[in-house]
Amino acid sequence: MDEGYPSSMDRWFGIPKNIDAATAVASAFYKCKHWCIIGAISSNSELCCPQPFHRLRGNANPSRAILIGGALLLGNAGLLMVDHIHFQYNGFLFGVLLLSIGALMENRPLQAALLFAVLLNLKHIFIYVAPVYMVYLLRFYCLRDFTIGQALVKLIKLGTIVLGVCLLSFGPFYEHIPQVLSRLFPFKRGLTHAYWAPNIWALYNTADKALAVALGRVAKASSTGGLVQTFEHTVLPSISPAVTFALTGLFMVPILLKLWTLKTSQLSSVSLGRCFVRAIVLCGCTSFLFGWHVHEKAILMVLIPLTLLAVGNANDARWTIFLGVLAHYSLFPLLFKPELTLVKISLHVVYTALSVLLLKLLHRGTFFRTMEFLYLAGFPILCTYEHVVHGAIGLRERLPFLPLLLTSVYCAVGVLYFWVSYQVSFLRTNGGEMVTEKKKTK
C-alpha cells in the first residue's frame, strides 16, 4: 500500500499492512463490486426501469417499451467493455442513478435525493449532474404550490438528508479531509488524460499541435506522450482548472434556466420527467466537453440516461443510436491488447445492430440525416486505418499515438455536434417533446 495512505483509513476498511494480503482484499472487493453490478441493474429492471420507461414511453406499447429499454441498458456495450473487460464498477453506480431517477418519476423526491446523495459519495464524478437535481428539487419540490413555511420545512428535509449522508461518508476521515479532497480533485494531473477524452480539449490540443508544427515550435512537455501530467500549450493559451469550471458552469446556465422556467400548469408529469432526464443528459455532456481531466468513460453518464428516453421518442432514439456509436468507439483505446480487437469490434457491431432493430420496433421511419449517416460511416474507415493501414505504412514506431489522436478528434466532433443539436432542441421544448426539424434524411 502507499506509505502516505492514512492509517486510520486502513483500520476503517480493514486493509492489512502486508502487500499480498492487501492485494487479495482489493481483488475480493472488486469481485464483490463486479457481482453487485448484475444485482443492482437487474433489480433496477424490477424497481426502477418500469416506472421511467412506463412514464417516458410515449405512445409505445408499455410491455415492449420496458423490455426493449431494459435490454438496451443491461446489454450496453460500453458498460460491458468498461466493467467486464477493463474491469470497473460503473454499472453498479448507474443502477443507483436510475433508481434515483425512478424515485422522482414516482413522485418520491426525498428518496431520490437520498439515493443521489449516496451516489455522489460513492463516486464524485456524478457531481456533473448535481446542478440538475438541485434545480429540480428546489423548483418542483420545495417551491411547488408552497407557502414560505412549507418551502422552508421541505428545504430543511432535503438539507438533512444530504448532510447526513456526507457526514456518514466523510466523518471517519475528518483528520484527513485535505488529503481526501486532494485525491478527489487531482488538479495536478493535467487538462487531459493520457488518452484524450473526445471533448473540446482534444480539439484544442490538436489545434495547438498543428500550429506548433506549422510554426516550427518545440513543446516543452508533450501532451501526446502517454503520461498523466500537466503541460503548457505551445502556441495557444494554456488552460487552468478555473477556466474549465467557468466554461462548464456558463454552458450549464441555459439548461438549468430552461428547467427552472418550465410551467407545471402546462406540463404533464410525463413531460416534466422527460425534461428532467434531458437536462441530466445535457449537463453531463457539458461537463464531459468542458471539464478538467475528463476520463473517456464519463461519456456513459450521457448515454445511459439518454437510453431511458429512447423508448418513448423517435428523436431521442435517433440520438441514442448516434451517440452510442461514437461513445462506444471512443472506449476502444481502453481495450488496447491485440487479442481484444475482435472482441470489442464485434461487441460494438452487435449492440449497434440490435439497438437499431429494437428501436425500429418502437419508432418507424428513418433515424439519421444525411450528414449524420456520412459521419457514422467514417468509423469503419477510422478502425481500418488504426488496425491495418497505420502499421502497414510504417508509422507505428514514428507516430505511435496518431491513431489515438484521430480517435479522440473524430469522436469529439460527433460529441460536440450532438451537444449543440440536442441543446437547441431542448431549449425549444414544447410540453416535454422535442421539436423535430424537417431536413433531408437517409
Convert the pLDDT of each residue in 391-439 to its tens digit. Answer: 999 998 888 889 999 999 999 999 999 999 999 999 987 645 544 444 4
pLDDT (0 to 100) of residue 28: 54
Cα 24 to chain centroid distance, Å, stands at 30
What's the rounded Cα separation, in Å, for the pair 300 and 347? 16
Residue-wise pLDDT for 83-137, tens only, equals 887 667 788 899 999 999 999 988 899 999 999 999 999 998 999 999 999 999 9
Residue 425 is placed in which grid cell? 432542441
pLDDT tens-place string over residues 295-348: 899 999 999 999 999 988 888 999 999 999 999 999 999 998 999 999 999 999
Let me know: does 81 contact 331? Beta carbons within 8 Å.
yes
Grid cell in block for residue 90: 460503473
- CB-based burial label for 10 (10 Å; 0-12, 13-18, 19+): middle
Mind giving me the DSSP string for 294-309? Answer: B-GGGGHHHHHHHHHH
Encode pLDDT of 148-169 as tens digits: 889 999 999 999 999 999 999 9
The SS3 call for residue 253 is helix
Using the Cα atoms of residue 166, residue 171, residue 174 and residue 179 in order, give the sign of their dihedral. Answer: negative
Q: What is the structure's pLDDT at 56?
A: 57
CA angle in degrees (0–180, nearest 5) for 85-330-74: 50
Q: First-to-last CA distance in the chain?
A: 56
Q: Give pLDDT, residue 206.
A: 92
Q: Please indicate whether residue 92 or residue 24 has the higher confidence score (pLDDT).
A: 92
The sign of the CA dihedral 254, 101, 325, 387 is positive
The pLDDT of residue 174 is 81
> 6-11: which pairs have CB atoms within 8 A and are 24 or more residues apart?
6/173, 6/175, 6/176, 6/179, 8/172, 8/173, 8/175, 8/176, 9/172, 9/173, 9/176
Q: How far apart are CA 219 and CA 235, in angstroms?
A: 9
Query: For 203-215, b where at least 16 C-beta lie within 10 A, e where not — what string?
Result: bbbbebbeebeee
Q: How far apart are CA 119 and CA 100, in angstroms?
A: 9
Residue 31 C-alpha cell reads as: 469481485
Mean pLDDT over residues 36-45, rounded?
A: 46
User: Do 136 and 113 meet the contact criterion of CB atoms below 8 Å apart?
Assistant: no
Q: What is the pLDDT of residue 13?
A: 40
- Dmax of the chain from CA atoms? 72
Find the range with the poorest average confidence among 21-25, 88-92, 231-235.
Answer: 21-25
Adjacent-strand bridge partners of 433: 430
7-11: Cβ within 8 A, 24+ apart: 8/172, 8/173, 8/175, 8/176, 9/172, 9/173, 9/176
* Cell numbers that stand for 313 in this block: 421518442
| DSSP bridge partners of 441 | 369
- The dihedral over CA atoms of 344, 350, 352, 358, expressed in degrees to the nearest 10, equals -150
Three-class SS of residue 363?
coil
Give the distance from CA 209 to its chain's centroid.
27
The domains of the chain are located at: 21-47+59-205+207-428
- The CA R_g of the chain, rounded to the nearest whole Å, is 22
